[in-house]
Amino acid sequence: MASETRYIAIEGPIGVGKTSLARLLGDAFQAHTVLEVAEKNPFLEDFYRDPVRYAFQAQIFFLLSRFRQQEELVQHQLFQQTTVCDYLFVKDRIFASVTLDDKELKLYDEVYQLLEPRVPKPDLVIYLQAELEVLLRRIRSRSREYERGIAVEYVEAVSRTYNEFFFHYRETPLLVINTSEIDFVNQTEDLQDLIAKIHKMKKGTEYDIPLGSR
């Protein structure tokens, strides 16, 4: 891995495998691993049951908790070692654009714009994609109680918004990987192929063709 790549952020829609990959890369690079804990959001289960009523509360909680987590990284100077995070701070804005109405989004943006400049930028973003059917299968397989009420339309909207966002993303080097036919957890070849790609990654955007898709 290039010496300047000290902070890797992994992104992608619900169920794509961000946390699993973050753990694997953390082990591979002997890195500090930062994982968001969605279960700590007290509004999440309510949101999946009644999105219109609880979207704003759930989104603001996520925004502030992720900001505190990122701020803690800076304060403790953890970027002196390699750090792998299973989210990019801007994910909050991506989800907010899907879940909030216009008035809520305007208020949300006022808070977001105060916080975002204080959040460190990663040296590399890995964007994981997968087909909708694959995302739904992975969500069901992890059997999280609060996800039982998740709507197919919501997962589809989130996935589509992610694709639109990263199509225009230019802020950092970006590695895009379609994970529909690969398995980083159970297939060593898939993980090693990705690690080799990370070592070679420089500037701009690259689209990886994993071994399992060839």
Residue 139 annotated as part of some ligand binding site: yes
Residue 143 annotated as part of some ligand binding site: no
Residue 13 annotated as part of some ligand binding site: yes
- Is 46 tagged catalytic? no
Residue 26 annotated as part of some ligand binding site: no
Residue with tokens 């039982």: 148
Residue 14 annotated as part of some ligand binding site: yes
- DSSP for residue 108: H
Q: Which of 27, 46, 86, 102 is catalytic?
A: 86
φ, ψ of residue 151 in degrees (nearest 5): -90, 140
- Where on the phi/psi map is residue 15: left (φ > 0), alpha (ψ -120 to 50), or beta? left
Residue 204 annotated as part of some ligand binding site: no
Residue 19 annotated as part of some ligand binding site: yes
Q: Give the CA angle between residues 36, 209, 132 to the nearest 5°.
A: 55
Residue 6 annotated as part of some ligand binding site: no
Alpha helices (H) in 80-183, listed in sequence order: 91-99, 102-115, 132-141, 152-167
Residue 94 annotated as part of some ligand binding site: no
Residue 17 annotated as part of some ligand binding site: yes
Give Cβ neighbours of residue 96 (< 8 Å, ≥ 6 apart).
Answer: 59, 63, 104, 105, 108, 109, 112
Cα distance between residue 183 and residue 106, in whole Å: 39
Binding-site members for ATP are 12-20, 138-142
Task: Give the active site residues.
Answer: 86
Binding-site members are 12-20, 138-142
